[in-house]
Amino acid sequence: QHGDVSLPVGEPTGHRVAIVGAGPSGLACAAHLRESGHEVTIFDMNPAPGGLLR
Protein backbone atom coordinates (compact mmCIF):
# COMPACT_ATOMS: atom_id res chain seq x y z
CA GLN A 1 0.00 0.00 0.00
CA HIS A 2 2.76 2.47 0.92
CA GLY A 3 6.32 2.35 -0.24
CA ASP A 4 8.46 2.89 -3.29
CA VAL A 5 6.79 3.97 -6.49
CA SER A 6 8.20 2.96 -9.86
CA LEU A 7 8.29 5.81 -12.36
CA PRO A 8 9.38 5.73 -15.99
CA VAL A 9 12.92 7.03 -16.41
CA GLY A 10 14.10 8.70 -19.60
CA GLU A 11 17.42 8.28 -21.32
CA PRO A 12 20.12 9.74 -18.99
CA THR A 13 21.05 13.33 -19.88
CA GLY A 14 23.96 13.73 -17.48
CA HIS A 15 22.24 16.71 -15.82
CA ARG A 16 21.77 16.77 -12.04
CA VAL A 17 18.95 18.76 -10.45
CA ALA A 18 18.35 19.63 -6.77
CA ILE A 19 14.78 20.27 -5.62
CA VAL A 20 14.13 22.01 -2.30
CA GLY A 21 10.88 20.85 -0.75
CA ALA A 22 9.18 17.45 -0.86
CA GLY A 23 5.64 18.78 -1.08
CA PRO A 24 3.25 18.13 -3.97
CA SER A 25 4.97 20.57 -6.32
CA GLY A 26 8.48 19.33 -5.57
CA LEU A 27 7.47 15.68 -6.01
CA ALA A 28 5.65 16.42 -9.28
CA CYS A 29 8.66 18.36 -10.55
CA ALA A 30 11.01 15.51 -9.59
CA ALA A 31 8.84 12.94 -11.40
CA HIS A 32 8.76 15.06 -14.56
CA LEU A 33 12.53 15.62 -14.50
CA ARG A 34 13.21 11.88 -13.99
CA GLU A 35 10.97 11.09 -16.96
CA SER A 36 13.15 13.50 -18.93
CA GLY A 37 16.29 11.61 -17.89
CA HIS A 38 17.75 14.00 -15.32
CA GLU A 39 19.26 12.83 -12.02
CA VAL A 40 17.14 14.34 -9.22
CA THR A 41 17.86 14.87 -5.51
CA ILE A 42 15.13 16.19 -3.21
CA PHE A 43 15.96 18.14 -0.04
CA ASP A 44 13.38 18.77 2.69
CA MET A 45 13.56 19.73 6.36
CA ASN A 46 10.97 17.08 7.29
CA PRO A 47 11.74 13.35 7.54
CA ALA A 48 8.87 12.33 5.23
CA PRO A 49 7.57 13.71 1.92
CA GLY A 50 4.14 15.25 1.47
CA GLY A 51 4.40 18.87 2.56
CA LEU A 52 0.95 20.25 3.40
CA LEU A 53 -0.68 16.95 2.42
CA ARG A 54 0.81 15.14 5.43
Could you tell me which residues come within 8 angstroms of residue 16 by beta carbon, excluding any fewer than 6 positions away?
Answer: 38, 39, 40, 41
Residue 16 is assigned to a structural domain of this protein = yes
Structural domain count of the chain: 1
Torsion of CA 32, 33, 37, 42, to 10 degrees: -120
Residue 30 is assigned to a structural domain of this protein = yes
Residue 51 is assigned to a structural domain of this protein = no
pLDDT band at residue 2, thresholds of 50, 70 and 90?
A: low
Residue 3 is assigned to a structural domain of this protein = yes
Query: Which range of residues forms the domain containing residue 42?
Result: 1-46
Residue 53 is assigned to a structural domain of this protein = no
Residue 49 has what pLDDT? 82
Residue 6 has what pLDDT? 80
